[in-house]
Amino acid sequence: MKIINLDQTDYKKLDAKSYDLEKRRLRIEFLKLQEDVIKNNRRICIVFEGRDTAGKSTAIRFFSEYLMPKHFNYIQLGIPTKWESSHWFQRWSKVIPHNGQISFLDRSWYTRAITEPIMGYCTENQYRAFMKKVNNWEEKLINDGVELTKFYFSLSKDQQKIRMKARKNSELKYWKLSKNDEKVITKWNAFTLYKEQMFEKLELKLVHGFQLIQIIR
């Protein structure tokens, strides 16, 4: 498995017209991909992880806006129940795509690797158990025919503060900001540490058919 780093600033070199043309081209290609998924009963799972306000949901909307609705799923699971917290992989197994489907996961099982231990939502034992088992669990998915791609969206600390403030003051987006979101900024270094530990864990084992792409904004 290789981590691919993409710097979004590359696209800042494009003028507005070129950017719109490139965006249209990419959406056409993704629609072609969906047609192939349907035709050949493929199962594609695309995971979107990253820091708060980094643009995960926006990216999913970009990917899915012109896709055929019956053949893709948008997955955003809420707070886990007590049972789900104790049966972590079973919780996520339920949303893995079926034949002919693409699933977009707006956050995933990797909240157990970063957000949950930092914010105190899981125990140390639960965190360690996840880190020990995650590679084998994903390998079983891939052996079962799931094509797995994961995006991690990052941004600078200053940019996150700006976006948090803009969200708080927005008449349309204020509801997206919670007290926990405001705590996130104070734990910036912890999120960096746990993210790096997660990446290191993923690099320890080569998993065929798997890509992790880090988007830096």
CATH number, position 58: 3.40.50.300
Ordered alpha helix ranges (H), the chain: 16-39, 56-64, 82-86, 88-93, 115-119, 124-143, 157-169, 179-186, 188-203
Q: Angle at CA 57, nearest 5°, toward 115 and 147?
A: 80
Range of the domain at 127: 3-216
Rounded to whole angstroms, how far apart are CA atoms 143 and 141? 5
> Can you say how many angstroms the Cα of residue 24 is from the centroid of all Cα atoms in its chain?
22
Condensed to tens digits (0 to 9), the pLDDT of residues 1-36 reads: 455 555 555 666 778 889 889 899 999 999 999 999
Rounded to whole angstroms, how far apart are CA atoms 96 and 154? 25
**The pLDDT value given to residue 208:** 44
- 44 contacts 51 by C-beta, under 8 angstroms: no
Query: 94 or 217, which is more confident?
Result: 94
Rounded to whole angstroms, how far apart are CA atoms 101 and 211? 19
Structural domains in the chain (count): 1
pTM of the model: 0.87
**The pLDDT value given to residue 206:** 44
Condensed to tens digits (0 to 9), the pLDDT of residues 191-215 reads: 999 999 988 877 655 444 445 555 5
**The pLDDT value given to residue 97:** 98
DSSP 70-122: GGEEEE---SPPHHHHHSHHHHHHTTS--TTEEEEEES-GGGGTTHHHHHTSS
